[in-house]
Structure 1
């Protein structure tokens, strides 16, 4: 059965170009020109992946991503004209699986869709990482089948890191994405990382999942 890709962009030329390339790769392609149309499609039928423009009339792609994440865990790739690193981090923090600048060729975009689909397939069902299971929709975490009780912010931080294994997030990026740009307590991240490790790691002083990158920040490893 063909996989279905939803392409959301207010530029008709980009939609037609991506539709052509994706259909050549044997995907079924649905299209939407704004967030409202995209949400209507997502709510009515199953899609396997969403290619989502960031800047559109009405609600932005970031807002649409958040709304999709409330009901489904479909892979989402942002497509943007902006190369601003802050936008990329924001896109990943709201639940995006990749962030592509529109200078990329259609072939590269298709390749990155395939890569995200492969990673998505590897992590499902249950988003399990060698004994640690994270359900982003129900916001529940289980370790070896037993539920782990996390606060809302603890889950947000674990979710940010685990959705992007091996990507390093700095202290400042984590503060901005989880607590907001006006929050300034430099000890907060270390405290929350320590709390999460106490709850999910077998040996918090020798973590398997949340690793420290000295002098930079933290990253999520997939366990040993």
Structure 2
């Protein structure tokens, strides 16, 4: 199954959101929209995104404040989109963890080009499922075509759901996934935190040297889990 990159567009101006949706979808991106910080955070919880296009001046929590909040748990690329082009705003945006700062006078084509550049620079393009048929992490190998998992060269049986969960983590190393995100993605939101922890425990039993001291799927306390394997 071909996986396109998902871009979250956050702007209180619906015309800008719709305009960017048109241009991004024309370039084969999937688009999720949000019109304020609260909607953006809800979207991030329910849908893994590869890049965030974030308006600075929004009512309520502004883009800078939202970026600071996102950066507490995630390293998803963030591009600021602002009507203000002053250097002080650019410096502030980049110092908060933004990957780029774009003035709204830029054409939609330029915005799309900058998104592509950030995806290349941050390595997100390496996650295309059709191009990467194997995910290798030292002693752990996921064969995406055969739907098989090997640990230290030995085939380890996984249920389809266990494999899909591990694959998501392996495709997004260092990205934090919350309990709510995992419940929504793999159980349609039905269940609770225990549902997630049981499955993570089973996966750890199969891939960790010491499941009680996990080094691959680690806890981000009070938030969820993160995959700390290093791709080779």
Q: Deviations over 1:160-195 (max 9, x none)?
A: 2222111112222211221112x1333111111111
- Distance in 2, matches of 1:214 and 1:102, equals 27
- 1:214 equivalent in structure 2: 221
CA-atom RMSD in angstroms: 3.7
- Distance in 1, matches of 2:133 and 2:141, equals 9
- 1:87 equivalent in structure 2: 43
- 1:190 equivalent in structure 2: 197
Mark the runs of 5 or more structure 2 residues left unpaired by the alignment: 6-17, 56-80, 82-101, 103-110
Mark the runs of 5 or more structure 1 residues left unpaired by the alignment: 19-31, 34-49, 55-79
Equivalences, count = 157
Q: Deviations over 1:26-49 (max 9, x none)?
A: xxxxxx84xxxxxxxxxxxxxxxx
TM-score, normalised via structure 2 length: 0.54
| 1:1-224 equivalence runs, <5 A | 15=23, 33=26, 51-54=28-31, 80-82=32-34, 84-92=40-48, 98-101=50-53, 104=81, 105=102, 106=111, 108-117=114-123, 120=126, 126-181=134-189, 183-222=190-229
- 2:68 equivalent in structure 1: none
Q: Higher relative CO (CA 8 A, sep ≥ 6), structure 1 or 2?
A: 2
- Distance in 1, matches of 2:43 and 2:120, equals 23
TM-score, normalised via structure 1 length: 0.56
- 2:93 equivalent in structure 1: none
